[in-house]
Amino acid sequence: MNRKLVITFFLIFSSIFIVVYSISTNAAPPPPTPPADENEREIIERAVLNAIDGQREYVLGYLVNDIQIADVQLSQDESWGVVYLEKIDPQTGEVLPSEPGLAFAQWTGSDWEVTLPTDPGWIDLVRSAPEDLLTDEYKISYIEMYQIEILSAQATYSGYLLPWEAGRMVYLSQSTGHDQYIPSGSAHYSFDFYISKTMYQLRASKAGTVWRTRWGVPNGDDSDMGNYIVLKDTSTSPTTYQLYLHLAQNSIPVELRTEGAFVSQGQFIGIADDTGQSTGHHLHFHVHTNPNSYWGTSVDITFDDVDINGGRPRRESDLKYCTRPGDVCNQFRNFYISGNGAPGDTTPPTGDLFEPATGFMANSPSVHVEGWSFDEESGLNHARLIAFYDNAWHEVGDEISNIAFSLDWDMCTSDVPDGPVSLALRVWDNAGNPTLGLPGLTHIIKNYSCVAATPACKPGLDQAGIYSDSDFQGDCQILDLGEYSQLSPNIDNDIESIQVGANVVAELFNHADFTGRSETIIQDESDLEDNPIGVNQITSIKVSAKSMSPAAPVVLISPNNGEQFPSGSSLSFSWRDPGG
């Protein structure tokens, strides 16, 4: 029986083997079919590259750089695609580490419609993109970066050092070139520093206190904004915030993960990596004034260890984006060597005010101030008296270099309004460390109404008056109705305030012959500092009757002739001001 059972099993097994072998030899399996979404990704890539080629002639970033696709991601229903763009150095062929550009592709039913970062309606797609493509956190970071800003002359902040150890050479991938992918201009004064495919240690560019930190995002994770440390600097007015972005996971020292921790210039703060929206290992660094987020609109800064452009690193591809008043792009270099040494003095200086006392009632224009400032380690560098009024801190008087000091402050000269005024000190030591907080803080009441200064000269109803100082003071000149293509040398580029008669308007130009940046003034301006034209910038002026119709625009800058826009897009128009 056992022998028959073995023979039976052998026959059954042989039959199965013959059938399987016959199937496998007679019909070879077909090659695997690529997944549908893989095919769509290739189609989207071609559509995006075609869109870039179509804009290459008039979008500067596409003209001066090679662009390649870093990644394409599809929504679950395959009706949306997001495309990450990266820039290629045309000379070396290397990817320039920076924040990636973000393009969108939407399925119309017959093809993919592409929207690039420079296209109208792009920011609306960021807001409405499916959650499985862009998380809310990711959207917020892009919306903050792309928030539209008014382009005007801004203050420049100094005293920074390149944020890595002294003697090391690091490369710049872009500065003003951030405008290529962030056309709002919020990152115009930012810097992307890198060493090819290398993580490197970072040092504080300037002293401050820890304001915000994030250290838990894994290296290479691009799902959100990445790791960062933000240092608060109260030595500036307004307070500034230094953003160091794309740091390696857990590289921020434990003692610097607490808000308020003091950081000296040159102190180790973390390691540059590629966490968050990044095309490679690099540090994104900029300074802003927004206390409500890690990100804010960048402000112009200068590095003491950069010997070109007044301390502003630039590479040649940035030149096309140096379009703002005050931009300096005269020399270019791809690499920079830091002078940021390890700090020897890590203790901030101190100071105090002992006069006037809190509650002092000032019944005259002048208030007497006495105090002291000191640093035990590197020594006192200087101090400044500051005063809070008109919702801002203002520096008062000259720098103070003595340990003990006294001065008399004329509040009327500073245009201080009646009411409460706060006084305090800012102190710096020789290592660049500022004081913490507001040493000597005291509060007084201004109880004296200042007599308004009489204008240096007074224009008539059909005239304009220009002044070399604010508040209609200093050298002045009366202008009748007419055109002034070149102001006289004593007032050219030396105007800080202007008055216009009731019947006229004044058209101000920062170049001769009514060219360059312009602004129309229809009412008195006691201080042109906050105006688009700025102070000490005016070279030619037109004074016209208000009853005259304004001249029609002669050159439309944007949108471009023949440009097409998706339905529902918001359009912005800009043109050359012909004057009048």
DSSP readout, 490-510? TTTT---EEEE-TTEEEEEEE
The CATH number linked to 540 is: 2.60.20.10
Mean pLDDT of 102-119: 86
Same domain, 429 and 497: no
Model pLDDT, residue 223: 67
Distance, in Å, from the CA atom of 145 to the CA atom of 184, rounded to the nearest integer, reads 8
Same domain, 187 and 331: yes
Helix, coil or strand: residue 5: helix
- Domain assignment of residue 270, yes or no: yes
Model pLDDT, residue 11: 45
Mean pLDDT of 378-400: 93
Which of the 8 DSSP states describes residue 181?
T
Average per-residue pLDDT for the chain: 84
Distance, in Å, from the CA atom of 518 to the CA atom of 256, rounded to the nearest integer, reads 47
Structure tokens at 515: 């060219």
Same domain, 406 and 370: yes
Residue 381 has, within 13 A of its CA and on its CB side, a CA count of 14
Distance of CA 12 to the CA centre of its chain: 78
Q: Higher confidence at residue 571 or residue 353?
A: 353
Output the furthest CA–CA distance in the chain (Å, rounded). Answer: 131
Are 231 and 242 in contact by the 8 Å Cβ rule? The answer is: yes
Sequence-ordered strand ranges (E) for 16-123:
66-74, 80-88, 101-107, 112-115
Model pLDDT, residue 554: 64
Give φ, ψ of 176 to 5 degrees: -60, -15
Same domain, 179 and 299: yes
The CATH number linked to 186 is: 2.70.70.10
Same domain, 235 and 333: yes
Q: Which residue has the tokens 């944020």?
A: 163
- Domain assignment of residue 402, yes or no: yes
The string of pLDDT tens digits covering residues 45-55 is: 888 888 877 76
Same domain, 374 and 419: yes
Is pLDDT at 65 greater than 80 in this prediction? no
Structure tokens at 438: 């507001």
Mean pLDDT of 527-556: 83
Structure tokens at 566: 């998706």
Same domain, 208 and 319: yes
Same domain, 206 and 289: yes
Q: Give the percent of the chain with pLDDT over 90.
A: 46
Domain count of the fold of the chain? 4
- Domain assignment of residue 114, yes or no: yes
Q: Higher confidence at residue 579 or residue 526?
A: 526
The CATH number linked to 430 is: 2.60.40.650
Are 442 and 422 in contact by the 8 Å Cβ rule? The answer is: yes
pLDDT band at 340 (very low <50, low <70, confident <90, very high): very high
pTM of full prediction above 0.95: no
Domain extent for 478: 464-545
Same domain, 470 and 376: no
Structure tokens at 317: 């591809």
Is pLDDT at 319 greater than 70 in this prediction? yes
Are 161 and 206 in contact by the 8 Å Cβ rule? The answer is: yes
Distance, in Å, from the CA atom of 409 to the CA atom of 365, rounded to the nearest integer, reads 8
